[in-house]
Amino acid sequence: MRNFLLEDFYEKHEFSTPYLLSQSDCESMTVEELLHMEPDAKKRFMQSWLGYTEVKGSPELRERIAALYKSCAPDDILVHAGAEEAIFSFMQVFLAAGDHVVYMSPAYQSLYEVTMSLGCEVSPWLLCQGDSGWTLDIDELELLLKPNTKLIVLNTPHNPTGYSLTDDEHKRIADIARDRGVFVFCDQVYKGLEWDGQAHSWMSDFYENAISLGVLSKAYGLPGLRIGWIATRNKDVYDMMVKFKYYTTICCSAPSEFLAIVALKHGEDILRRNVSVIKENITYAEDFFSKHAEAFINNAPAAGPIAFHKLKLSGGIRAFCENLIQRKGVLLLPGDVYEVKGDYFRMGYGRKNFRECLNQLEQHLSG
Interacting residues with ligand PLP (CB under 6 A) = 24, 82-84, 108, 155, 159, 187, 189, 215, 217, 223, 228
Q: Which is nearer to ligand PLP, 91 or 289 (CB)?
A: 91
Contacts of 330 (CB under 8 A, 6+ apart): 17, 19, 21, 324, 357, 360, 361, 364
Alpha helices in 200-266 (DSSP H): 203-206, 235-245, 254-265
Q: Is the distance from CB of 212 to CB of 231 less than 8 angstroms?
A: yes
Q: Is the distance from CB of 38 to CB of 264 less than 8 angstroms?
A: no
Q: Helix, strand or coil for residue 305?
A: coil
**Amino acid identity, residue 340?**
V
Q: Helix, strand or coil for residue 311?
A: strand
Smallest gap from residue 110 Cβ to ligand PLP (A) = 7
Smallest gap from residue 86 Cβ to ligand PLP (A) = 8
Distance CA 305, CA 69 (A): 22
Length of the chain: 367
Q: Which is nearer to ligand PLP, 114 or 182 (CB)?
A: 114
| DSSP 8-state secondary structure symbol assigned to residue 336 | G
Q: Which is nearer to ligand PLP, 87 or 174 (CB)?
A: 87
Q: How far is CA 359 from CA 23, 260, 284, 312, 351, in A?
A: 17, 35, 10, 19, 14
Residue nearest ligand PLP by beta-carbon distance: 82
Smallest gap from residue 46 Cβ to ligand PLP (A) = 26
CA atoms within 13 A on the CB side of 8: 10
Q: Which is nearer to ligand PLP, 108 or 134 (CB)?
A: 108
Q: Is the distance from CB of 333 to CB of 317 less than 8 angstroms?
A: no
Q: Which is nearer to ligand PLP, 14 or 236 (CB)?
A: 14
Q: With CA atoms as reference, report the closest residue to 259 among 34, 51, 29, 85.
A: 34
Kindly report the CA angle at 275 between 185 and 88, in degrees rounded to 5? 25
Smallest gap from residue 84 Cβ to ligand PLP (A) = 3
Smallest gap from residue 158 Cβ to ligand PLP (A) = 8
Distance CA 94, CA 130 (A): 35
Q: Which is nearer to ligand PLP, 219 or 328 (CB)?
A: 219
Smallest gap from residue 108 Cβ to ligand PLP (A) = 4
Q: Which is nearer to ligand PLP, 94 or 288 (CB)?
A: 94
Smallest gap from residue 187 Cβ to ligand PLP (A) = 5
Q: Which is nearer to ligand PLP, 223 or 301 (CB)?
A: 223
Q: Which is nearer to ligand PLP, 215 or 317 (CB)?
A: 215
Smallest gap from residue 366 Cβ to ligand PLP (A) = 32
Smallest gap from residue 359 Cβ to ligand PLP (A) = 26
